[in-house]
Structure 1
Amino acid sequence: MQNKFSKLLFSIKTKILSPKIVGLYQKSNENLIQRDLDGLNFKKRQELFKHAIKYSDFYKKKYAHLDFSNIELATNDDFLKIPPLTRDELRLNFEDIKSSNVNLNKCRKASTSGSTGPSVSVLHDKRHPETPIRWRILNWWGIEPWENQAFIYRFKKPLWERIANSIMWWPTKRVFLAAANPSSKQLATFVKTFNKIKPTLLQGYVDVVFEFALYLLDNKIKIHPPKMVWVTSAPLFEEQRQLMEKAFGAPVCDQYGNTEIMLIAAECPEQNGLHIMQDTVHIEFVDANNQPVPANTSGKVLLTDLTNFAFPLIRYEIGDEGKYLDRKCACGRSLPLMDNIKGRQSKQIVTPSGLQIKGEHLMAMFDGHMKLFREIQLQQQQDYSVCIFYVPRKAEKTGVEIDAMVHLLKQRARFEITVRHEKVEHVTRVGKKSPFIISDL
Structure 2
Amino acid sequence: MTATSRSLSFALKSATVRSSSGHFLRELLANEHLPQDELQARQDHAARAIAEQAMQESPFYRRLYGERGIDPRILDDPRRWAELPILDRATVKAHSGEFATPEAVGRGVRTALTGGSTGEPLRTLHDARVPSLALAWRMYSWWGIQPYDDLARIGRWSFGRMDAVKNTIAWWPTRQLSLDAAVISEETMTEFHRAVTRVRPRLLEGYVGALLELADFLERRGLRIPGPTAVATTAAPLTAPVRARLEDAFEAPVHDEYRGSEFGWMAGECDRQDGLHIFSDVRRIEVVDADGRPAPPGEEGDLVITDLRNRVFPMLRYRNGDRGILRERSCPCGRSLPLMEPPQGRTIDVLHLPSGASLAHRLTALFSAHPESVRLFQIHQQADASLTIRVVPGPGERSRRHVEDAVEDLRTRIRHEVPVRIEYVESLPYTGGKTKYILSDLPAVVPQAPTPPPDTPSVRA
Measured against the shorter chain, the TM-score band is 0.7 to 0.9
2:200 to 190, 198, 201: 198
Partner of 1:370: none
- What is residue 285 of structure 2 aligned with on the other side? 283
Q: What whole-Å deviation, never above 9, does each CA across 1:59-111 have from its counterpart, x for those lacking one?
A: 11111145551635121332111111121111011121111244343111111
Identify the residue that residue 409 of structure 2 maps to in structure 1: none
Which residue of the partner structure matches residue 60 of structure 1? Answer: 62
Aligned residue for 1:432?
Answer: none
SS in 2 for 1:49: helix
Query: Is the contact between residue 110 and residue 122 of structure 1 (CA under 8 Å) also seen in structure 2?
Result: yes
Aligned to 1:252: 254
Note the residue ranges of structure 1 that are not aligned, 5 or more in a row. 347-358, 360-373, 378-385, 392-424, 429-434
Q: TM-score, normalised by structure 2?
A: 0.73
Q: Percent identity among equivalent residues?
A: 32
Change (3 A) 1:6 1:93: same
Q: Distance in 2 between matches of 1:23 and 1:221?
A: 41
Other-structure match for 1:317: 319
What is the SS of the residue equivalent to 1:324? coil
Counterpart of 2:343 in 1: which secondary structure? Answer: coil
Over the aligned positions, Cα root-mean-square deviation in angstroms equals: 3.0
Contact 2:158 2:179 in 1 (8 A): yes
Give the corresponding residue for 1:398. Answer: none
Question: How far is 1:125 from its partner?
Answer: 0.3
Quick check: 1:389–1:427 contact (8 Å CA) kept in 2? no
Q: How many residues align?
A: 368
Distance 1:426 1:170, change over 3 A: farther
- Residues 387/287 of structure 1: CA separation in 2 closer, same or farther (3 Å cut): same
Does the Cα contact within 8 Å between 1:108 and 1:125 map onto a contact in 2? yes
Secondary structure of the corresponding residue to residue 263 of structure 1: strand
User: Paired residue for 2:146?
Assistant: 144
Shift of 1:234: 2.1
Could you tell me how far apart the structure 2 residues matched to 1:187 and 1:439 are? 25
| CA shift in 2, pair 1:251/1:74, >3 Å | same
- Residue 306 of structure 2 corresponds to 304
Greater mean deviation of Cα atoms: 265-274 or 237-246: 237-246
- Give the one of 309, 329, 345 matched to 1:343: 345
8 Å CA contact 2:181, 2:359 repeated in 1: no
- Equivalent position of 2:34 in the other structure: 34
- 1:164 match: 166
Post-superposition CA distance 1:146-203 (Å, at most 9, x none): 1111112368531112111111111222222234555545433322321222111011
CA distance in 1, matches of 2:113, 2:236: 17
Corresponding residue of 2:21: 21
**Residue 400 (structure 1) aligns with:** none
Alignment match of 2:235 (pick from 228, 233, 240): 233
Q: Which digits, 9 at most, give the CA deviation of each residue in 1:127-148, with x for residues without a partner?
A: 1131111110001011011111
C-alpha distance 237-376 of structure 1, shift in aligned 2 (>3 A): farther
Structure 1's 114 and 274: CA in aligned 2 closer, same or farther, altered over 3 A?
closer
Deviations 1:390-439 (A, max 9, x none): 99xxxxxxxxxxxxxxxxxxxxxxxxxxxxxxxxx9999xxxxxx97537
Query: How many Å separate the matches in 1 of 2:246 and 2:384?
Result: 19
Q: Secondary structure at the match of 2:260?
A: coil
Whole-angstrom CA distance in 2 between matches of 1:155 and 1:47: 33
Look up the match of 2:8: 8
Letter of the structure 2 residue corresponding to residue 295 of structure 1: P
Query: Contact 1:376/1:388 (CA < 8 Å) preserved in 2?
Result: no
Deviation at 1:213, TM superposition (A): 1.1
Compare 39-48 and 96-105 and name the one that shifted more.
Answer: 96-105
Q: 2:110 aligns with which of 94, 108, 111?
A: 108
CA shift at 1:32, angstroms? 2.0
For 1:141 and 1:291, the matched residues in 2 are separated by 35
Q: How does 1:120-131 map to 2 (within 5 A)?
A: 120-131=122-133
AA matched with 1:113: G
Corresponding residue number in structure 1 for 2:404: none
Which structure would you say has the larger RCO, counting Cα contacts within 8 Å and 6 or more residues apart?
2
CA change 1:279–1:266 in 2 (3 A) is: same
| Aligned residue identity for 2:278 | I
Distance 1:100 1:241, change over 3 A: same
Indicate how the Cα distance of structure 1 residues 52 and 180 shifts in structure 2: closer, same or farther if over 3 A, else same: closer
Q: 1:124 offset after TM fit, Å?
A: 0.3
User: Gaps spanning 5+ residues in structure 2: where?
Assistant: 349-357, 362-379, 386-416, 421-434, 441-461
8 Å Cα contact 1:301/1:320 also seen in 2:
yes
After superposition, what is the alpha-carbon deviation per residue over 1:201-254, rounded to whole angstroms, capped at 9, x for unaligned?
011111111100111122221221211111112223332221111110011111
Change (3 A) 1:343 1:305: same
SS in 2 for 1:118: coil
Q: Determine the structure 1 residue equivalent to 2:412.
A: none
Contact map agreement 2:182 2:359 (CA 8 A) in 1: no
**Paired letter, 2:24:** L
Query: How has the CA–CA distance of structure 1 residues 193 and 439 changed in structure 2, closer, same or farther, with 3 Å as cutoff?
Result: closer
What is the CA-CA distance between 1:273 and the residue it aligns to?
0.6
Relative distance call for 1:436 and 1:252 in structure 2 (3 A) is farther
Q: How far apart in 1 are the matches of 2:19 and 2:157? A: 32
For 1:43 and 1:276, the matched residues in 2 are separated by: 17
CA contact (8 A) 2:155 2:210 kept: yes
Amino acid paired to 2:111 = K
Q: Secondary structure at the match of 1:231?
A: strand
1:266: which partner in 2?
268
TM-aligned CA distance change 1:390 to 1:80, over 3 Å: farther
Alignment of 1:53-92 (within 5 A): 53-69=55-71, 71-92=73-94
TM-score (norm 1): 0.77
The CA deviation at 1:310 is: 0.8
1:34, CA displacement in angstroms? 2.0
The answer as to whether partners of 1:303 and 1:318 remain within 8 angstroms in 2 is yes
